[in-house]
């Protein structure tokens, strides 16, 4: 099927790749179907695009590239909700808040998006770890050099 | 909102499988113990609100800004 996207115009998607967010995403509780689209080949950025609302797309990234020590502990409630059986099926992304200047762009490490890729179910969880907040600079080494 | 007064060690039940107990009262802090089925998600409200707010700002990124971000990212990677 074809969908309209916020960042990539009209794209053809495989319906089997649609990820179900049973409870929506906080602030967007009615949005229950998303798809992950690579922004381009050369960067690790993905768009978590709503299937139903073309203007709703989040910029997400695999956190481990930028935050090698990042740890996500899944609660029993999450494991149950996403019917997770194997750790290898789980993909973790964090949502970016892109800022101008873009060196101020932050990643939300407190609320990662967890996807069970085996059954295409996703959920934004919240971590209780005091080390993680909603705004962590994505590229701290770039601050002050540009923008 | 239903308002109930409880003393230390007293509980309230929500439905028949969620129990909230007042464990300690120290000044303006109250320690609560919660017994609930594992499928029930429990979190501090301020964290939930922070994530909700962050999602709303994250959703307002413009296409141009994202292109700039990927450009910055690539130039940072080159320096590594």
Express the helix, strand and coil content of chain B in percent, nearest 5 each. Answer: 40, 25, 35
Q: CA nearest B59 in A: which residue?
A: A58
Q: List CB contacts (< 8 A) between A139 and chain B.
A: 72-73, 76
**Fold (CATH) for A2-137:** BH3618-like (2.30.290)
DSSP alpha helix (H) spans, chain A: 63-66, 76-81
User: Edge-to-edge, what's the strand order for the sheet holding B18-26?
Assistant: B11-14, B18-26, B29-35
pLDDT under 70: residue ranges of chain A: 142-147
Q: What is the residue-averaged pLDDT of chain B?
A: 90
Full-model pTM: 0.88
> pLDDT, tens digit, for every residue of A14-43?
999 999 999 999 999 999 999 999 988 788
Contact B55 A110 (CB under 8 A): no
Contact A59 B48 (CB under 8 A): no
pLDDT confidence of B57, banded at 50, 70, 90?
Answer: very high
Cα A82 to the chain's mean position, in Å? Answer: 15
Contact A95 B55 (CB under 8 A): yes
Choosing among B57, B65, B69, which should be mutated to test the A contact, i.e. which has the most A CBs within 10 A? B69
pLDDT confidence of B80, banded at 50, 70, 90?
Answer: low
Cβ atoms A57, B63 nearer than 8 A: no
**Domain ranges across chain B:** 10-75
> pLDDT, tens digit, for every residue of B15-38?
999 999 999 999 999 999 999 998
pLDDT higher than threshold 80 for residue B76:
no
Choosing among B55, B56, B58, which should be mutated to test the A contact, i.e. which has the most A CBs within 10 A? B58
pLDDT confidence of B70, banded at 50, 70, 90?
Answer: confident
Candidate from A27, A81, A110 with C-beta closest to B47:
A110
Higher pLDDT, A36 or B67: A36
Q: List CB contacts (< 8 A) between B61 and chain A.
A: 59, 96-98
Q: What percent of chain B has pLDDT over 70?
A: 99
**Domain ranges across chain A:** 2-137
pLDDT at A145: 54
């Amino acid at each position: 099927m074809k969908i309209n996207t916020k960042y990539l115009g009209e794209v053809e998607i495989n319906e089997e790749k649609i990820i179900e967010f049973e409870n929506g995403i906080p602030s967007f509780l009615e949005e229950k179907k998303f798809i992950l689209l690579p922004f381009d080949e050369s960067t690790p950025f993905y768009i978590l695009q709503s299937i139903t609302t073309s203007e709703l797309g989040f910029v997400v990234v695999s956190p481990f590239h930028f935050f090698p020590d990042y740890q996500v502990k899944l609660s029993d409630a999450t494991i149950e909700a996403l019917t997770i059986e194997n750790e290898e099926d789980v993909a973790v992304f964090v949502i970016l808040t892109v800022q101008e200047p873009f060196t101020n762009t932050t990643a939300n490490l407190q609320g990662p998006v967890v996807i069970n890729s085996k059954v295409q179910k996703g959920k934004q969880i919240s971590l209780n770890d005091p080390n993680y907040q909603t705004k962590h600079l994505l590229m701290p080494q770039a601050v002050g050099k540009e923008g | 909102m239903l308002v109930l007064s409880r003393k230390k060690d007293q509980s309230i039940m929500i439905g028949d499988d969620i129990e909230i107990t007042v464990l300690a009262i120290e000044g303006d802090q109250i320690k609560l113990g919660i017994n609930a089925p594992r499928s029930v998600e429990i979190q501090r409200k301020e964290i939930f609100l922070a994530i909700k707010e962050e999602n709303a700002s994250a959703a307002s990124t413009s296409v141009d800004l994202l292109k700039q971000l990927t450009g910055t990212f690539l130039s940072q990677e080159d320096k590594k």
